[in-house]
Amino acid sequence: MNDAPSRLAEVKARIAAAESEARRPAGAVTLVAVSKTFDADAVRPVLAAGQRVFGENRVQEAQGKWPALRNEFPGSELHLIGPLQSNKAKEAVALFDVIETVDRDKIAAELAKEMKKQGKVLRLYVQVNIGSEPQKAGIEPAEAVAFVARCRETHGLAVEGLMCIPPADENPGPHFALLEKLAGQAGVEKLSMGMSGDYETAVAFGATSVRVGSAIFGHR
């Protein structure tokens, strides 16, 4: 028995409660259901329950399951939330609607080239390494505002938001607050922050989307 639809309903209810608690409008926060490592059979019941926005970590894995799922469930939206290698930019532009992990000039240039070539305009987020952790991808917080400006002015990209993954062993609140501050300085409106363990906190700090995987699909 697949319990994912009931867990999905619980997550949506908790997001709605967090929006209300934070005095934010109902529906202000988009739920991105993180389906990485789960096969099409595990994802299908969540699609059938009405969820349409999903996140994947790897281009190749997403290529293996999403074309068929999108034929079955039109209107699905796919976010790349894992690191993007420049040699995968062509496939990423072809498959995804949103890329949340733009974090260096080489990727920005490749995405600009591929979007022009394919005649597609993807929605883009800059990933910020909010805790300055050496093992994590993302631009340093001190460089984020200038990098967003370069994406726009040098590469001709429209960046709509910032994304972060706070350090696992720290209170996420100050990191979310910093991302919100950086977004204001960079002139972007969207904030992709918050995962299964801290998405309600993220809603309180202004997240416009939360990326929830294990709380919906179970542990990998």
Q: Is the pTM of this model over 0.85?
A: yes
DSSP 103-134: -SHHHHHHHHHHHHHHT---EEEEEE-TT--T
**Mean confidence (pLDDT) of the chain:** 97
Compute how many other C-beta atoms are within 10 angstroms of the C-beta atom of residue 168.
Answer: 11
Here the tokens at position 71 are 């034929």
Tens of pLDDT, residue by residue over 153-176, are 999 999 999 999 999 999 999 999
Does 2 score more than 90 pLDDT?
no
Tens of pLDDT, residue by residue over 70-114, are 999 999 999 999 999 999 999 999 999 999 999 999 999 999 999
Tens of pLDDT, residue by residue over 110-153, are 999 999 999 999 999 999 999 999 999 999 999 999 999 999 99
